[in-house]
Amino acid sequence: MRITFFKYISLFFLFFHCTPNSIEIDLVVANGSLIHLEDGSISKGNIYVNNGVILGVGEAKEFPNLNPRKELDASDKYVLPGFWDNHVHFRGGIGLVKDNKKFLDLFLANGITTVRDAGGDLATEVLTWRTAINNKTMLGPTIFTAGPKIDGPNPTWEGSLEVTNEMEVAKALDSLGGLQIDFVKLYDSKISSEAYLLAIKEATKRGYITSGHMPYSVSFQEAVKTGLGATEHLYYVFKGCSSKEQEITDLVDAGEIGFWEALQELLKSYDEESAERTFELLKKHQTFVVPTLHIMHTLSYLDEEDHASDKYLKYFSPAFIKTYQRRINAAVNASEENKKSRKSLDSIFRSLNSKLDHAGVSLLAGSDCGAYNSYIYPGISLHKEMAALVQSGLSPLQALRTSTFNGAIFLKKEGDYGSIAKGKISDLVILNANPLENIENSEDIYAVLKGEQLLQKQDLQKLLSN
């Protein structure tokens, strides 16, 4: 057979000049052990990334056309979707903006590529950061924010929106709509039971996801049935586990007892059958629970534990650290009886958490880091929360899922986040050791990929040292 000149040239291009349709892309994370949070399986493979999106996952031979400009060798590493901290706060007034901005570095340095901001008084700054990060003009985790919280008149937290009736609820939601918030956060310092339920109802009607505390003047069942998307902390689920919930609710509503007195009554009337019913209700309504075990423990032991040598203290200004004093004073000055009951509540909540998990209720890992929340540092505290979840009885896989996988589902972002798959945003964390064997390995970070931005050891160090 005679090879014509034309055929010779074509063969030359085919064999010696790559394939004619070779596509240049940004990055391949090569040969890592990929952890699939969907089912806990691990596969060995490459992740091809371009423009902040995963183009393909698998063996090199499946992608002969992709020609990465950069390769990150992950051969003895474990790769999983970037962590989500599902409960953080940017707050503390304009004087603490710099401290709050520092959070962003600390999150990324700890592998946290997304945060859910559960409301505060720095909405303007947070919204600016959110936009800049989305537009890639600033480096930081993706922020999903509630903006200002909804509460009653004269609320505890600065910047909250005060509502007492239908008109004010509508006005508050209009203003949150103007801010293009990602979900609605409710707080319980002064809000009436009527206004609280109205806010959930109206927010849900407008298509918002809601999460919140809950006044003890509302029954937990009613809040869930009205559409509360997630219940923050375990105080409110715990209320739903009492055999005397309605009586206690009525007493609080009538102003005859307050929150702490009610809590004592709830402790005496915890009931397995009521608990089972509440867990079933949560599952039926797909309501998430944010246990925040690490902060519960830390605050319960503020009177005993010395945090003076915590290594994260150095990242914050004296003015920021001063906000910690409010809770410290309250803990130190509490009666001996109160100190004891806080500590017993801490262990009761851990066992409640384990029951929630066994019952199949969806949990979200959130640290509650922010000004005023003493010694709950941004970044590292999410890892402490996952460790606390494991201590309470979750498997490491379940704990990891409560961060990234469930976080994405709760905010209806599972199309973009939560697993290593083609088409998802390339937010990845690359670990030196397997977190499924020991959850503490989640802290042993080799590299972080935030969209297009690859952060290796010295970049991560720089985020911590700036």
Contacting positions for Zn ion (CB under 5 A):
118, 368
User: Residue 156 or residue 344: which is nearer to Zn ion going by CB?
Assistant: 156
Residue nearest to Zn ion (CB): 368
User: Residue 118 or residue 289: which is nearer to Zn ion going by CB?
Assistant: 118
User: Residue 99 or residue 368: which is nearer to Zn ion going by CB?
Assistant: 368
Decide: 292 and 230 in contact? Cβ < 8 Å.
no
* Rounded Cα–Cα distance for residues 85 and 99 (Å): 18
User: Residue 299 or residue 408: which is nearer to Zn ion going by CB?
Assistant: 299
At 379, list the tokens.
């970044």
In the complex, what is the shortest distance from the CB of residue 88 to Zn ion, in angstroms, rounded to a whole number? 8
Decide: 70 and 294 in contact? Cβ < 8 Å.
no
* Rounded Cα–Cα distance for residues 418 and 431 (Å): 17
Going by their DSSP bridges, the two strands 288-290 and 210-212 should be labelled as unpaired
User: Residue 368 or residue 427: which is nearer to Zn ion going by CB?
Assistant: 368
In the complex, what is the shortest distance from the CB of residue 160 to Zn ion, in angstroms, rounded to a whole number? 12
In the complex, what is the shortest distance from the CB of residue 41 to Zn ion, in angstroms, rounded to a whole number? 34
SS3 72: strand
In the complex, what is the shortest distance from the CB of residue 183 to Zn ion, in angstroms, rounded to a whole number? 13
CA angle 152, 157, 161 (to 5 degrees): 45
Decide: 428 and 420 in contact? Cβ < 8 Å.
yes
* Rounded Cα–Cα distance for residues 360 and 339 (Å): 32
In the complex, what is the shortest distance from the CB of residue 427 to Zn ion, in angstroms, rounded to a whole number? 23
In the complex, what is the shortest distance from the CB of residue 291 to Zn ion, in angstroms, rounded to a whole number? 12
In the complex, what is the shortest distance from the CB of residue 298 to Zn ion, in angstroms, rounded to a whole number? 13
User: Residue 198 or residue 230: which is nearer to Zn ion going by CB?
Assistant: 230
User: Residue 265 or residue 368: which is nearer to Zn ion going by CB?
Assistant: 368
At 94, list the tokens.
């304009």
Quickly list DSSP for 330-394: HHHHS-HHHHHHHHHHHHHHHHHHHHHHHHT--B-----BSTTSTT--TTHHHHHHHHHHHHTT-
Give the bridge partners for 53, in sequence order: 50, 425
Give the bridge partners for 145, in sequence order: 117
At 285, list the tokens.
């309504």
User: Residue 68 or residue 212: which is nearer to Zn ion going by CB?
Assistant: 212
Distances (CA, A) of 119 to 71, 159, 161, 173, 405: 39, 9, 11, 14, 22
Decide: 56 and 48 in contact? Cβ < 8 Å.
yes
In the complex, what is the shortest distance from the CB of residue 164 to Zn ion, in angstroms, rounded to a whole number? 23
In the complex, what is the shortest distance from the CB of residue 268 to Zn ion, in angstroms, rounded to a whole number? 27
SS3 58: strand
Return the C-alpha torsion angle 298, 189, 234, 257, nearest 10.
Answer: 110
**Residue 440 has what DSSP assignment?**
G
User: Residue 63 or residue 324: which is nearer to Zn ion going by CB?
Assistant: 324
In the complex, what is the shortest distance from the CB of residue 109 to Zn ion, in angstroms, rounded to a whole number? 22
User: Residue 235 or residue 417: which is nearer to Zn ion going by CB?
Assistant: 235
Decide: 219 and 170 in contact? Cβ < 8 Å.
no
